[in-house]
Amino acid sequence: MEAEGLDWLLVPLHQLVSWGAAAAMVFGGVVPYIPQYRDIRRTQNADGFSTYVCLVLLVANILRILFWFGRRFESPLLWQSAIMILTMLLMLKLCTEVRVANELNARRRCFAAADSKDEEVKVAPRRSFLDFDPHHFWQWSSFADYVQCVVAFTGVAGYITYLSIDSTLFVETLGFLAVLTEAMLGVPQLYRNHRHQSTEGMSIKMVLMWTSGDAFKTAYFLLKGAPLQFSVCGLLQVLVDLAILGQAYAFARHPQKPVPHTVPPASTKAL
């Protein structure tokens, strides 16, 4: 009788914990980008955030959704991918609007300076996805160009998956590529920090949430018996997050010295 009474209490509790874990999986991946989104909106500066993070997550989650058609996995992971795609599109929209607005303001200042000196200013051409210029890939001037790229990639990848869905090797490779791409999520930010020798403009809260979220996600994969690719790449993702936190600590202790600006002589300024 006592065991039955405990079961009456434990079964709903277990169900509640399962629902909570599923909700954390679905929405937890989005939470780290909230402080970064707010920082960009507040400062109107997106230089500290690498938009290639959005590219990595868009590719990874599109491939994960296609993998689901070949090998069904936990529904919360599927919903997480759909919500993450929408979130990355919102991040791209904000970053593009801020960057274009800043470029426009800089151009206006250049025109004003040129008018006062009677000089000619060259206007940078508009960069478009349909130009197919590899030098400006993922650096386009309109959010619509990013949407076109995502739709084109989804269409091509979806068509290939449709033709090869019966191949076990293809499906397993697709799943591995999906989680491996997601595991490389922090690499663009890691490279940007290394190149600038600074983490200025990057939200430390975002990276801390990356780390805690990836650790939780990896544990979820292991406990739920998700495909092996998910667990291995989850561990790799945690290691990349820790490397970025290490950069933030190292650059904070040894900040890069600013380059001194040379003041031109009076005769040059008079000219």
pLDDT digits (tens, 9 = 90+) for 142-168: 999 999 999 999 999 999 999 999 999
User: Is the pTM of the predicted complex or chain greater than 0.85?
Assistant: no
Residue 169 CA to its chain's centroid (Å)? 28
b/e map of 36-66 (b: 16 or more CB within 10 Å)? bbebbeeeebbbbbbbbbbbbbbbbbbbbbb
Asked if 271 contacts 219 with a C-beta cutoff of 8 angstroms, the reply is: no
Supply the pLDDT for residue 106: 73
Specify whether the backbone of 203 is left (phi greater than 0), alpha (psi in -120 to 50) or beta. Answer: beta
Name the band, by pLDDT with cuts 50, 70 and 90, for residue 259. very low
Does some domain include residue 268?
no
Please count the structural domains in the chain: 1
Percent residues over pLDDT 90 in the chain? 24
Does some domain include residue 182?
yes
Does some domain include residue 160?
yes
Asked if 78 contacts 84 with a C-beta cutoff of 8 angstroms, the reply is: no
Does some domain include residue 125?
no
- Asked if pLDDT for residue 170 goes beyond 50, the answer is yes
* Alpha-carbon span 83 to 26, nearest angstrom: 8
* Alpha-carbon span 75 to 144, nearest angstrom: 30
Percent residues over pLDDT 70 in the chain? 80
* Top-confidence range, 89-98, 203-212, 242-251: 89-98
In this structure, of 138-142, 189-193, 217-221, the range with the lowest mean pLDDT score is 217-221
- Asked if pLDDT for residue 116 goes beyond 60, the answer is no
- Asked if pLDDT for residue 91 goes beyond 90, the answer is yes
Evaluated on CA atoms 94, 97, 100, 101, the torsion sign reads negative
Supply the pLDDT for residue 222: 82
Supply the pLDDT for residue 268: 30
What tokens appear for 213 in the block? 């979220």
Does some domain include residue 269?
no
Mean of the per-residue pLDDT values of the chain? 79
Does some domain include residue 237?
yes
Does some domain include residue 116?
no
Supply the pLDDT for residue 266: 35
What tokens appear for 1 in the block? 């009788």
Supply the pLDDT for residue 156: 96
Where is pLDDT greater, at 129 or 267? 129
CA distances from 78 to 99, 158, 174, 190 (A): 32, 16, 15, 27
Supply the pLDDT for residue 124: 55
Compute the average pLDDT of residues 191-215.
83
The domain of 207 spans 10-108+135-253
Supply the pLDDT for residue 67: 92
pLDDT digits (tens, 9 = 90+) for 57-88: 999 999 999 999 988 877 888 888 999 999 99
* Alpha-carbon span 54 to 140, nearest angstrom: 14
Q: Which of 34, 37, 36, 29 is nearest to 58 (CA)?
A: 29
